[in-house]
Homo-oligomer: A and B are copies of this chain.
Amino acid sequence: MRTIKRCLKFMILGLSVLAGTAYAEWQALPDTAPAPKDNPTTPEKVELGKMLYFDKRLSQTGTVSCQSCHNVMEGGDDSRPTSVGVGAQFGPRNAPTVFNSAFHAAQFWDGRAASLEEQAKGPVTNPVEMGMSDTSVAVERIRQLDGYASYFNAAFGTDEITFDRIAQAIAAYERTLITPDTPYDRFVKGDGEALTARQQRGMKTFAAVGCQACHSGANFSGQMDPGAPLTLQKFPVFASSRFVEEYGLMEDQGRFKSTGKEADKHMWKVPTLRNIALTAPYFHNGKVNTLEEAVRVMGSTQLNRDLSDQQVADIAAFLGSLTGKGLKQTMPQLPPTPGGMLSNSQ
């Protein structure tokens, strides 16, 4: 009797997946991203944030903006192993996509920033990213650009320019960089034809082998509520995997680098899988070039499974259904630079 019940349950589950019926485990992305109470998303703030996001003058040399490493005209990242900052210096970690970052409970690979507002502040004074000596220098730079005052006034009610406001505006813009309505989202909302047969197979395999243990929820990044206690995951779990040495996956000690706590060694935030087909190369060090290999690595290092070629291809096809359409955006118009602001000495 129990076996019959089980079989029945499995058949219903199978049919509902094939028919594209939504059920609890598979969630579509909301059409809007949540904003913190003290920084509501308004059109004026988003417009200002877009300007600042594209403004290279927020970097010491005037050569690096948020957009430089998180290219919203492509996959929201910079398509390279690790990012290039001021003075052609390389950073230590791969740039995550900005798309749907609003649905992450925490920011940065190690989750060390609790919000997009906090994250936006980090790179400005990082010596190998935007290289400003101090946040006050960045604020002063923006204050010297006459054209900005009216935009701050429209966004915040007064024309005062502060580092907090700069970060708030950028975060508000980033909350609009979301990509709902992917084939996956349409499928879980009931459009059974939104996914190919292979993608549907991959979806089932994705769940069956255990990927959802971490990559759960609408953003495939586990917890989405910034209020909840941060949940990190160990990567790699199986340090004996042959991929660990091949791709140097334990060279970076993860959150340990920012906390110094032994328990944080090799602990990482669960990154979103949305748009992952657009954001090669993969992992925190950007050493894995293809999505198929990334799936294989995850199977081995996290689940201790040698996924078959068929499983890998199916899962990769499914992950391709998480690719959003490119956002239609207008280009911002930035205030002009006074002569002498940007020098040619670094």
A contact residues vs B (CB 8 Å cutoff): 54, 57, 61-63, 68, 71-75, 78-82, 84, 86-88, 90, 277-282, 286, 288-290, 326-344, 346
Contact = CB atoms under 8 A, between A and B. Distances in A.
Nearest to A285: B344
**Prevailing SS type, chain A contact patch:** loop
Contacts of A81: 342-344
Contact of A84 (B54, B63, B288): B63
Going nearest first, the 8 A-B pairs with the smallest beta carbon separation are A289-B339, A280-B339, A79-B337, A326-B333, A281-B339, A289-B340, A80-B342, A88-B88
Contact of A330 (B277, B289, B331, B343): B331
A90 B84 CA distance: 17
Given A81-B343, A81-B344, A330-B331, A337 B74 contact: yes
A6 B63 CA distance: 56
Contacts of A343: 80-81
A335 B79 CA distance: 11
26 contacts: A57-B79, A61-B88, A63-B68, A63-B88, A72-B331, A74-B334, A74-B336, A78-B342, A79-B336, A79-B337, A79-B339, A80-B337, A80-B343, A81-B344, A88-B346, A277-B336, A280-B337, A280-B339, A280-B340, A281-B339, A289-B338, A290-B339, A326-B333, A329-B330, A329-B331, A330-B331
